[in-house]
Structure 1
């Protein structure tokens, strides 16, 4: 079989591939999505969904399903040999930049995330083709030819305009494209399991046990009495174990960890009696800190773990991949629908590659502090951390900063080629490239949120009336908003914002205008508000 009119081939049906496929579908582009596995995965794998990802699920219309399948992750208990510290992250996302309807992470097993996104994709009329592996790629001008092998041994070629690799750390797309994957390998090995524990702690929390030997953690899993347990050890290769893995991502799993190994880890690192009753899913693996120099090579794009892998510290990986896909989806759809020039896709690399680089630095730092096996890290966990933890981690500003970093709400694109502004004196206002801030507003006279207005595939124009003596009449701005929508049918929705609280959130008191992209990032701010028309016309010239 060979075709030549397919717009997008997505390789990989994990969270990133599913998110991208859903974004394309709701923007009016039907992708083909394949996965080499013949059946969906049933293991939990990535477990924490950050607030920014919850905002994305809200936009897609699956937030209720995500809440039903998950549980809050707001309580973290850190236990040292002679000290326990309870950290409550609920209510810590304060201030204009962090304000969100989803103020705490959620525990949501990756197989549930994939189930929810698969059901949504099916509702769009797109089915995942399983048991289909990519075996090669060639590019020719504005098309890519993909060689595919089916589970029954049959082969086909698929010609398409774009191929997107969402196929993880061992990405066949990345390897076929020749894009390098440089970085380092952590010496430590990790063992991990979904297991039942018998101990004194209540189910429902997140528990960490730093010790000189390493880290042990247990995260309560929703809907069961199980925990995700994991810890790090010096590598087997130090004791005649397997050789360190190569540069293509995390190694293949080593020998399956034994029950005795898990129990020994618990006995060594938990300072009270605890028994591993049964393991339900186990793995041993090595972790890399690697990234690619670019996310695009011609008509080939990389998303998520295909582009960056790192330590699991901070539960950032899957969430970052989902945001990669959310950033790329609307841009690729605009290009395929003829609404944008191909250069729009270049902004994906310009915006997301710096985020991936920063992610590696952040997770490296977190891992070196909490789990590293070097003598300094062991000393810090054994002697320094217990002393400092009670003085530092219990401070509210530290908790706010820590959860703010993990929540991914403050990630921004200050150097994006899509950014534009007019006027000066913005002070505390969000800048182009920032995530659009949440705020309380009136919608048809009823209390609502700005993110209710953002929900969908359109650009959103916000026209702030200004306050007090500087205010513009609402009826005047409503007429302007109607004109913007008429000039850009289906692509723009415009709203007048008059509430004082929303003005405070956006740091404005004079009449001001903001344009919010489909991925809920600001592309423009300007005064006077009429200048939005020039920006939209400029965008239209860029898009046509």
Structure 2
């Protein structure tokens, strides 16, 4: 019987990213998908700053940025009039090395991830379906159906369900998927557009109960169009064409659509599963949570699921941590998923609500507020943090301890740019490390050297005073780069005690 450390079901961005992080850590992963190959339609569009930060561990960040398109601004239209232009180019310049909104269609994203896996000698097994699985004391036995109809049994230490909203893994482990479905029917289309001004930017237009979002790919005249289908036409989506959808908001943009490359309709769900882990099976991405596309969070959230789980699986598979470490995956990611569903639900409800008052707020109040508020650098930065997922933290996780300055255990480490390099350069290593801003104590230096844990000391700068980090404190970072322990005293014994309490073996 074939064996692997982790069997990954589903080769969308979540499954592919999980396979990459595991393979980079020396964990064998087998990834299957019942489809014929990577997606050919650009579903998710935005790659958020936090995803790019974590992609540095996979040597992917710069490739994605180069292949994607930095959206210069969002324009707001109402009732056929241009009401506001919101610059997006440097909203997060004090927050991240990636302070922009990057558009990189999911189909291209998937193909890049597949290529990266192939470079590591891992091929996606397309047209291969999970039929069932059984859990044993030390492994999972999965029954697969190959492209030629042949059935194969595979033994894996763990199983990762990245198989979408209709997840077979989720159904078999009996995990619920509480939530609901919005009544609105959405359409999405890839189109060629002329006449739009300013060209190359994003546009959102409201016209009474109709709205449309226009996103630029970075290719001349080519855009993604997203909107809602109203009235009785929404009852029979299988018969709809682009000509059938409402064009009031589209016409309000004063543009001309000269070609429709792709058109589809879909309904939006908001659900979170009961169990992100059950035994040796895990749920990630859409198999664990689905929500409205507001804010471009879906694909990024799945990739961060993969980042969170991969280092924990690697530690347990290699015998460096107890199986109980894996319980923190559900604790950390389920809490974030529920918060995200609530947040996107409120935004989605605002955009799609019907009635005179809702129309008045969208077409009159919101554009005025956006135009005034976005002139404030603090407001721009706040909104960037909210959308970019750089505010995501795990403070309530059992793995998070301490506080030094304004940084708590569980936080994303503040990004601190330097003259030659930033403090995120060292985070490319998928391993435990310590960062100190100022001077490290001698016993801490000796302890890190003894145990093979990288210690990075940054000379204190006046600019650090407003970033939240404390001078001479020690920040122990997990392999996924989140702060595990923030010790204001920078003591070696505090770090040593952390590893003992969590049962994580030190390298030496």
Q: 1:38 aligns with which of 18, 29, 36?
A: 36
- Which residue of the other structure, out of 95, 100, 108, is the alignment partner of 1:112? 108
2:456 to 495, 501, 506: 495
State the 1:509 CA deviation. Answer: 5.2
Q: Is the 8 A contact 2:207 2:248 kept in 1?
A: no
Structure 2 Cα separation of the partners of residues 338 and 506 of structure 1? 37
Distance in 1 between the 2:132 and 2:158 partners? Answer: 14
Q: For residues 6 and 317 of structure 1, what CA distance do their matches in structure 2 show? A: 29
Does the 8 Å CA contact 1:439/1:505 hold for their aligned counterparts? Answer: no
Q: How many residues matched?
A: 504
| Alpha-carbon spacing, 1:62–1:388, altered in 2? closer, same or farther (3 Å) | closer
1:469 aligns with none
Contact persistence 1:191–1:285 (CA under 8 A): yes
Does the Cα contact within 8 Å between 2:141 and 2:155 map onto a contact in 1?
yes
What secondary structure sits across from 2:307 in the alignment? helix
Shift of 1:80: 1.1
Which of 189, 193, 208 in structure 2 is aligned with 1:212? 208
Cα gap change, 1:315 to 1:510, in 2 (>3 Å)? closer
Q: What's the CA shift string for 1:147-200, capped at 9, x where partnerless?
A: 211222221222211110111111111112211111011000001111111223
Residue in structure 2 matched with residue 86 of structure 1 by the alignment: 85
Does structure 2 conserve the Cα–Cα contact (< 8 Å) formed by 1:481 and 1:496?
A: no
With the length of structure 2 as denominator, give the TM-score of the two structures.
0.93
Task: Describe the superposition over 1:69-93 as per-residue Cα deviations: whole angstroms up to 9, x where unpaired.
Answer: 1110241001112342000123322
Q: For residues 345-399 of structure 1, what are the alpha-carbon distances to aligned partners after superposition, in whole Å with 9 as ceiling and x for unaligned?
A: 1111111101000110011011111223356433432444355444445544433
The one of 325, 346, 367 aligned to 1:344: 325
TM-score, structure 1 normalization: 0.87
Between the aligned partners of 1:526 and 1:141, the Cα distance in structure 2 is 39
Aligned mate of 2:435, from 455, 462, 473: 462
Which of 300, 325, 333 is the equivalent residue of 1:319? 300
What is the aligned counterpart of 1:353 among 317, 326, 334?
334
Q: Which residue does 1:172 correspond to in 2?
A: 168
**CA 1:502–1:346 in structure 2 vs 1: closer, same or farther (change >3 Å)?**
farther
Gaps spanning 5+ residues in structure 1: where?
A: 243-253, 466-471
Specify which of 465, 480, 483 is matched with residue 504 of structure 1. Answer: 465
Provide the C-alpha distance between the structure 1 equivalents of 2:285 and 2:455, rounded to a whole number of angstroms.
33
- Quote how far apart the aligned CAs of 1:439 are: 1.1
1:247 matched residue in structure 2:
none
Offset of residue 282 of structure 1? 1.1
User: What residue in structure 2 maps to residue 248 of structure 1?
Assistant: none
Q: SS state of the match for residue 270, structure 1?
A: helix
Given that residues 266 and 275 in structure 1 are in contact (C-alpha distance below 8 angstroms), is that contact kept between their aligned partners in structure 2? no
- Give the corresponding residue for 1:287: 268
Per the alignment, residue 400 of structure 2 pairs with 419
Deviations 1:124-149 (A, max 9, x none): 22111000011222222232222211
CA change 1:18–1:298 in 2 (3 A) is: same
Sort the Cα spacing of 1:182 and 1:58 in 2 relative to 1 into closer, same or farther, 3 A.
same
Of residues 82, 104, 120 in structure 2, which corresponds to 1:124? Answer: 120
2:162 and 2:287 in contact (8 A); partners too: yes
Is the 1:484–1:533 contact (alpha carbons within 8 Å) kept by the matching residues of 2?
A: no
Partner of 2:158: 162
Are 2:209 and 2:353, in contact at CA under 8 Å, matched by a contact in 1?
Answer: no
RMSD over equivalenced CA pairs, Å:
2.3
For 2:412, the equivalent position in structure 1 comes to 435
Alignment check: 8 A CA contact 1:167 1:305 kept: yes
Could you tell me which residue of structure 2 aligns to residue 50 of structure 1?
A: 48
| Alpha-carbon distance change, 130 to 237 in structure 1, aligned in 2, over 3 angstroms | same
> Which consecutive residues of structure 2, in runs of 5 or more, have no partner in the other structure?
none
